[in-house]
Amino acid sequence: MQQVAIDYDKVLNEVFEQVTDLTGIGQVADYIPELKVIDPKKFGIHLATVDGQHFGVGDSEQRFSLQSIAKVFSLILAIKFEGGDLWRRVGVEPSGTPFNSLVQLELEKGIPRNPFINSGAIVICDVLCDHFENPKEDLLVAIGELCGNANISYNEKVAQSEKLSSYTNTAHINLMKAHGNINHDIDKVLDVYFHLCSIEMSCRELAQAFLFLACKGVDPVTNRKVLTVGKSQRINALMQTCGFYDEAGEFTFKVGLPGKSGVGGGIIALCPGKYAIAVWSPKLNAKGNSFKGLKALELFTTKSATSIF
Ligand code: DON
């Protein structure tokens, strides 16, 4: 059967128009006070295709707080350093619980279900502390290299704001330390974690940065091999099964792509062999995922018929 080329520009603009006017939905994250200052009406989408096309709408060039989206970058770095040994300290199962839930962690003796819930991402930061001399500084450089973007930065205000309200994450790390799954000083590891989450990028930068995961680990622009095929597949598998916490099933059901959300209101998703797409809208649903972001991606994969299933 002959494949009809998708008019991405048209689809993206239709989706943007349809979703822009949805109102009365969700709340901007406020448990990190500094995230509350963002204009809730911000909305941007950027699509980067593997053959080098770019389509952006709305606030797609404005940087926002990556929060949990950055956990994909830290996981990639940890896998590169540790290979299969990493899975002794963190699992690969969906949690079915909220991103900050402590319930399973006690039952499962300090081994987090997966690297994207908070406890899992904190263990990953502890692993990175084994490999970096100056973890905070080295992490930013390493993520910049991974994304082919040397201009990224931490937002100190956001990192400090999260630190001041970090009671739950402090509980997570203490519980894991008690079970022997944290090697480094607790404050040092949390400082790395808060800074990781505070990294800012725009939808355009994010879509560009994730393209290698749509191309079996190879950056299609530079031909640089970022990850092996096997590791790239496993990162996508984890995004598919665990990228949206207790809404991972719903995202798979409605959108049908591997992806990752953050409480800054961003979502990144990718379609192997075709594209990476980033959406940003700060108002979150009850599960902590961008309301408009989810809606936009559902419409996008429906209209373009690009669900992987
Ligand atoms: O640890 C936290 O609570 C935040 N820094 C990140 C949480 C987050 O983005 C969860 N994802 N939707």
Mind listing the pLDDT tens digit for each residue in 109-144? 999 999 999 999 999 999 999 999 999 999 999 999
Helices (H), the chain: 8-20, 70-82, 103-107, 118-131, 135-147, 156-164, 167-178, 186-198, 203-209, 229-242, 248-254, 291-304
Model pTM above 0.95:
yes
* Tokens read off for 101: 């839930």
For residue 121, the ligand 1 atom closest to its alpha carbon is: 1
State residue 5's pLDDT score: 85
Rounded distance from Cα 141 to ligand 1 centre (Å): 22
For residue 69, the ligand 1 atom closest to its alpha carbon is: 9
Query: What parts of the chain have a pLDDT lower than 50?
Result: none
State residue 21's pLDDT score: 87
State residue 298's pLDDT score: 98
